[in-house]
Homo-oligomer: A and B are copies of this chain.
């Protein structure tokens, strides 16, 4: 594979280690997802039997370099918005108890070139607010609710 998991102690390797700590579930709400290493970590969790759910933005999911098709192909459940505004969140929830959120889009450009922040929070109050938003979006973007004109 051309994109091994990152090693050493870099911001990316620390983020990957947090993700790989998931034992039961990983809920992802990501505007843009084109970083191959992060996609590989998510696939690994899926293969280990962790329940992965991914919500993304309909306008960005088809862009060049997007990992969404690859993740869907691997059998991961993906849902996306249906409206013209952006689904601009960029957060992950590990095992419903660790929230990873910030300014960082999961793209190689952001990781390599930008000034970004990522917060890792385990306070139940914050985690619950984001988990609730995730469940709301997950239902709202259920394909069963699509409207066609």
Contact = CB atoms under 8 A, between A and B. Distances in A.
Interface of A: 31, 81, 83-91, 101-104, 109-110, 112-117, 119, 126, 130, 133, 137
B137 A115 contact: yes
* Copies, count: 2
Contacts of A133: 117
A114 to B, nearest CB: 4
B89 A115 contact: yes
10 contacts: A87-B114, A87-B115, A88-B116, A89-B116, A91-B103, A103-B103, A115-B137, A117-B130, A117-B133, A119-B119
Count chain B CB atoms within 10 A of each CB in A83, A90, A103, A114 and give the residue with the most: A103
A42 to B, nearest CB: 19
B115 A85 contact: yes
A117 B103 contact: no
A114 B89 CA distance: 9
